[in-house]
Structure 1
Amino acid sequence: MPENRSTGFPVNAPKLHHTTFTTLRLDQMVEWYGIVCGLRPVFHSDEAAWLTNDEANHRIALLSPPGLKHPTDKGHETGIHHTAFEFKTFDMWINNYIRLRNKGILPFLTLDHGITMSVYYQDPDGNGVEIQVDGFGDWADSSEWIANSLEFAENPIGTFFDPEKLVEARDAGLSFQEIHERARAGEYLPETIPEDIFLPEVW
């Protein structure tokens, strides 16, 4: 495969296709990812499931072979912090937050990263799942911003927000761009600011 001589990176890079998890809660995980991300099982047995929400044969794989053990301190162990799913529009994104809230599924972390506005959930095994919308509505623009913005360099984590305040702002007629700018400016802060971004321990 051809490489870029200056970086050593492949000229034609593979695209991210899926993430695989091991689990002792297979059926719960299948149900949760269906509700939260619209992932339907293409195959589901007693020991594994392959799920998709688009034309791909799968986007999440779940394996439950004999002999698995739960982690001892998942929230503070190295590994994947979260996987992420993206909506095309702010309205789709905020409406999904409302839909999940009405089912009692609430995020543990809510951040405007500049490049995205994001709500973070935990699946039944405690894995983080980010649901996001691009902060610019365009990958080219957000890629330019993350690469060259002093604001992002100084604050890559972003600004916390209360999603209910975003719902109120949208219902009051504010545009996505207005809400995004006000969130970045700290106008929609939650009552309690999280002390860290560790995954909450569910064990």
Structure 2
Amino acid sequence: MLMERRAPGILAMHEEYGRGGMAEAKAKQAGGGKTRRKVVPTHMAHFVVKTAQYEKMIDWYLTFFDGEVVFSNEIATFLTFDQEHHRVAIVNMPGLLPQRDDTAGVHHVAFSLASLEDLLENYKRLKERSILPWWCVNHGPTTSMYYKDPDGSQVEFQTDNYETFGETVEFMKSQAYADNVGGVDFDPEELVRQFEAGIAVDFLLKRPDVRG
């Protein structure tokens, strides 16, 4: 099984060293106590989509991320929504065939929002622009909304359901998660109603089948 191939003690090391010391801790474990330098990415910088619907895709991603154009010409457009110089690039490739579901490839990319309130505000903003999620699900670790761009590529907005890495991993190691990795679907309108009615956020974030 996949879990059996993981190095032991990852959660314990995280609790001892924190996120910043994880690479060093794992290097020491692998090297019998001798530290070796491990190079890891600092963050995910951007993703790139190719499309035959160039203008339509630019408009969609600008709306989706509430972003701005950094550079654009007839070949490519670069968009950002934060301090990164570009988070999304859209490449104009006329004549491309439509995507097919029966081919291998990236399933989706995901972006985290800071809170349930932000996730729901973002849902309402996009709904006003006629962009609706095709799947809303509480996975357990996250509460997530999945969208499809005009070419059918999937992009997820999520918010973490637990405050710490340790709590999240503990849930992912639980029998409840093993029994239902996919999660529990939810109605976004009902979740908005419950949130605006003042129901406790901790309760709303907890996956319904494990609320007790």
From the superposition, tell whether residues 114 and 42 of structure 1 become closer, same or farther in structure 2 (CA, over 3 Å): same
Per the alignment, residue 25 of structure 1 pairs with 53
Partner SS, residue 96 of structure 1: helix
Equivalent residues of 1:160, 1:186 under 8 A apart: no
* Paired residue type of 1:36: F
**Equivalent runs, 1:54-203 vs 2, <5 Å:** 54-65=82-93, 68-71=95-98, 74-146=100-172, 148-181=173-206, 183-185=207-209
Higher helix share: 2
**Structure 1: 4+ residue segments shifted above 6 A:** none
Q: Which runs of 5+ in 1 are unaligned?
A: 188-203
CA distance in 1, matches of 2:48, 2:166: 28
Q: Using CA pairs under 8 Å that are at least 6 residues apart, name the structure with larger relative contact order, 1 or 2.
A: 1
Query: How far does residue 167 in structure 1 lie from its aligned partner after superposition?
Result: 0.9
Per the TM alignment, residue 180 of structure 1 is displaced from its structure 2 partner at its CA by 2.0
TM-score normalised by structure 1 residue count: 0.79
Taking structure 2 as the reference length, the TM-score comes to: 0.76
Q: Deviations over 1:78-107 (max 9, x none)?
A: 211111111101111111111212222111
User: Cα 1:145–1:35, aligned 2, differ >3 Å: closer, same or farther?
Assistant: same
Structure number, greater radius of gyration: 2
Matched positions, count? 181
Unaligned runs of 5+ residues in structure 2 are 1-23, 32-36
Asked if the contact 1:110–1:161 (Cα under 8 Å) also holds between the matched residues in 2, the reply is yes
Q: Percent identity?
A: 31
> Is this contact kept in 2: 1:159–1:186, CA < 8 A?
no
CA contact (8 A) 1:158 1:184 kept: no
Change (3 A) 1:186 1:125: farther
Distance in 1 between the 2:100 and 2:30 partners? 39
RMSD of aligned alpha carbons: 2.6
Alpha-carbon distance in 2 for matches of 1:13, 1:140 = 21
Equivalent-residue separation in structure 1 for 2:124 and 2:164 (angstroms): 24
| Matches of 1:139 and 1:102, distance apart in 2 | 34
Q: CA separation in 1, counterparts of 2:103 and 2:166?
A: 34
